[in-house]
Structure 1
Amino acid sequence: MTFIDQWLRSDIRNINAYHVPSAKNMLKMDAMESPFGVPEELKDEFLEYISRSEVNRYPDASAEELQATLRNLMGIPEDFGVLLGNGSDELIQLLSLACSSGDSIMSFEPSFVMYELVSKFAKLNYHGIPLDENFDIDLNATLLAIKTKKPKLIFIAYPNNPTGNAFDYDVIREIIQSTDALVVLDEAYYAYSERSFLTEIDNFSNLVVLRTISKIGFAGLRLGLLVGSEETIEQLNKLRLPYNINILTQVSANFLLKDSQRIVSNAKIIMNERGRLYDELSLVPGLIVYPSQANFLLVKADNAKSLLESLKESGILIKGFAIGAQLENFIRISVAEAKENNVLLECIKDYYG
């Protein structure tokens, strides 16, 4: 046994690192990224703007200007607290660290894998409540789990990743009302969804809303935010590492997020393409396409593994799921621009003949 094997916690030794496949020279439709980068007409101004950054200095520790920009973009009331993270993953980890070792954490399955992974890092007991056959919440099973497991923290992805559906709003409200846990509504895909729980923060002291700018065009900046009551955010801020939002992220986001009209317009393009992809794929024999309120589609596919390999050979990367997993025969497709979606459609139609 090596030194690191002896030194490391045994439960960490038994975890596989999160794997990101190489996307070099590939059409990347696997990670729910936006296809829209910095517009050509803004690149010179953008580069000039970030060139003023004093990279020899620490960034603004509270990121005040960036917080104001985010509040304006997302309509966050001034009397709500906002906590920024190096991506929403950091905030998921921060919330887990706020719990005591051995506490229970709860979410649904299938859902975002980081909830379970981070709970293991923090020595929490993770409980995944299975969704029903339509990927909706089984309220009775959930309420029973809350009663028996007594979770300290509940994560609800809204819309859900990887299924794309938004759970019933009133069901979620009932869950929030039924528990003493802190309930985290992960609204990573808020820009493509019909409803939000932001306005419910005033109604529930145990509710916080998690968001990210990754799905609206800025995944490379690694910026997430947690919104809650001022009292809740003030306490959680004690766990935030100083200077966690670097100066280039702050400056870049301040510049790019002020163009709210373009962000909304790009989201509408994706939603229109999502509808077109849904309609076209639904006509392909061997595929069952699920409705989505996110920027991706979940598809049940005959010969899913073979299809994944065929698309990869054609230079297209989409998301598959592990053998034996609940979604073993499914694929997840990120919605891209029309020309990229057309390439995907042609390859899938050719595969199924």
Structure 2
Amino acid sequence: MIKDLVRPELQKLVPYVSHQIPYRIKLDANESPFELPASISKRLEDYLKNGPGLNIYPDNESTELRKTLAKYWNVDSDEIVVGTGSNQLIQLIITVFVGNGEKVVYPWPTFSMYKINTLIAGGVPVEVPLDKDRDFLFAVDEFIDTVNRERAKVVFLCNPNNPTGGMISLEDIERIVKECSNSIIVVDEAYAEFCTQSAVSFVKKYENLVVLRTFSKAYLLAGARCGYSISGPEIANEINKIRPTYNVSSLTQLIAKMVFEEQKEMQDKILYLIEQRGNLEDSLRKIKDVYIYPSFANYILIKVPEAGIISKELEKRGILIRDFSNDPILHDCIRISVGTKEQNDIFLKEFSDIINSFLRTL
């Protein structure tokens, strides 16, 4: 009976699933392998002992955090909206701009929450396939044609793209923003710290552009849930109209501000992971039957025979990676988050053993 009461367009919706199982090494969710620096943990402890207390509501505007972010990005603080992860901002943007039957366009495969939130809002998701035979190449002309033909209200570009790892050039992003001026263009830069570019510099130039950033990847705070958008003040104001009251906790605001101010230490960790990504790619290239897709993020997508079986064998050995074997496009792929050298070495040892022994017997 309950199923019959659910909106028809949501009845077949598959929720985003994050498996919580015991592990030795967790390389399945693109999280940072690093814990908080001791200095920040100490400051957080002092806050819990001597701060205003958690019985008081947080600053509804995330004022101090927005000031810190605005100074770094050289924008006005009223051009920034803070949310509980960039996921919340994706949902808010779609809610603001997308009505029943209106189109949302994005490349595919990409982050699944664009589709899920579009369906929740009653919108129509439109997927523009990436070319799997050419390392999931992004075709900008086809994409622009689709956006304008479908009269898309919102466009999402995950850059670098999750899960493929590819990157769209700033030149192509600017073309999309300019030539699709009747659409809101959202550039989701959850992994941009691990490449060399950002579209934030275009925000003051184009009123239809929104850039999303997160603390969940490069800034160690996946468990704190904090992200933010940078856009013109008009879009920011519309998002703020429907942003839930007190949406970001006092602790999250404080810890995000403290982490962001430790730029030297954060940049050192980012450079370390970029180096480890290269080392991991080099090692994977030496393993027969493994194809590596180019990555500009903190993960690597690979194509391998019997991806589902390999994923299950790794799980038995306590190593979690992201298995795409049930996906119609990525069915022969797995995604590996870049960990520390020690974590990557353990993964490579177990993965090689599975390839060289178990898989050869099939």
TM-score bucket of the superposed structures, by smaller chain = over 0.9
Q: Give CA-to-partner distance per residue, 1:255-277, whole Å, 9 cap, x none.
A: 23221111111101100100100
Give yes or no for the alignment of 1:152 onto 2:153: yes
Paired residues, what number? 350
Shift of 1:43: 2.8
Q: Which moved more, 1:108-117 or 1:128-137?
A: 128-137
- 2:243 — aligned with what? 240
Matched-pair contact (CA < 8 Å) for 1:105–1:154: yes
1:10 Cα deviation after fit: 2.6
Q: What residue number does 2:82 align with?
A: 84
Identity of aligned residues (%): 30
In 2, distance between residues paired with 1:88 and 1:193? 19
Structure 2 equivalent of residue 183 of structure 1: 185
Tell me how far apart the structure 2 counterparts of residues 187 and 273 of structure 1 sit (CA, whole Å).
21
**Cα pair 1:46 1:255 within 8 Å, conserved:** no
Distance 1:334 1:324, change over 3 A: closer
User: Hey, what does 1:335 align to over in structure 2?
Assistant: 338
**8 Å contact kept, 1:79–1:230:** no
Question: Which residue is equivalent to 2:19?
Answer: 21
Over aligned residue pairs, what C-alpha RMSD do you find? 1.6
Partner residue, 1:49: 47
Q: Which residue of 1 aligns with 2:73?
A: 75
In the alignment, which residue of structure 2 is the partner of 1:162?
Answer: 163
Alignment of 1:54-133 (within 5 A): 54-72=53-71, 74-78=72-76, 81-98=79-96, 99-132=98-131, 133=134
Report the Cα distance in structure 2 between the residues aligned to 1:261 and 1:64, rounded to whole angstroms: 23
Tell me how far apart the structure 1 counterparts of residues 327 and 31 of structure 2 sit (CA, whole Å). 27
Aligned partner of 1:173 in structure 2 is: 174
For 1:140 and 1:22, locate their aligned partners in 2 and report how far apart those are by CA, in whole Å: 41
User: Structure 2 unaligned runs (5+)?
Assistant: 357-362
1:242 Cα deviation (Å)? 1.1
Question: Relative to 1, partners in 2 of residues 1:157 and 1:67: Cα closer, same or farther, differing over 3 Å?
Answer: same
Deviation at residue 223 of structure 1 after TM alignment? 0.6
Q: Is 1:302 aligned to residue 290 of structure 2?
A: no
Residues 1:312 and 2:315 are matched in the alignment? yes
* Paired amino acid for 2:63: E
- Contact 1:143–1:178 under 8 Å retained in 2: yes
Which runs of structure 2 are paired with 1:260-271 in the superposition (5 Å)?
A: 260-271=263-274
TM-score (norm 2): 0.93
**TM-score if structure 1 supplies the norm length?**
0.95
Question: Per-residue displacement from partner, 1:142-186 (whole Å, max 9, x unpaired)?
Answer: 122123211000000111000111113222221111111000000
Quote how far apart the aligned CAs of 1:17 are.
Answer: 2.2
Aligned equivalents of 1:41, 1:236: Cα separation in 2: 34
- What's the secondary structure of 1:215's corresponding residue? coil
Match in the other structure for 1:34: 32
One-letter identity of the residue aligned with 1:120 = L
Structure 1 gap ranges (5+) = none
Answer yes or no: is the 8 Å Cα contact 1:53–1:251 preserved in 2: no
**Runs of 4+ displaced beyond 4 Å:** none
SS of 1:298's equivalent in the other structure is strand
**Shift of residue 41 of structure 1?**
5.0
Q: 1:324 to 1:166 in 2, by over 3 A?
A: closer
- Give the Cα separation in 2 of the matches to 1:69 and 1:41: 19
Distance 2:208 2:48 in 1: 38
Greater shift, 271-280 or 299-308, is seen at 299-308
The aligned residue for residue 360 of structure 2 is none
Contact 1:106 1:154 in 2 (8 A): yes
The offset of 1:307, in angstroms, is 1.1
Shift of 1:194: 0.8
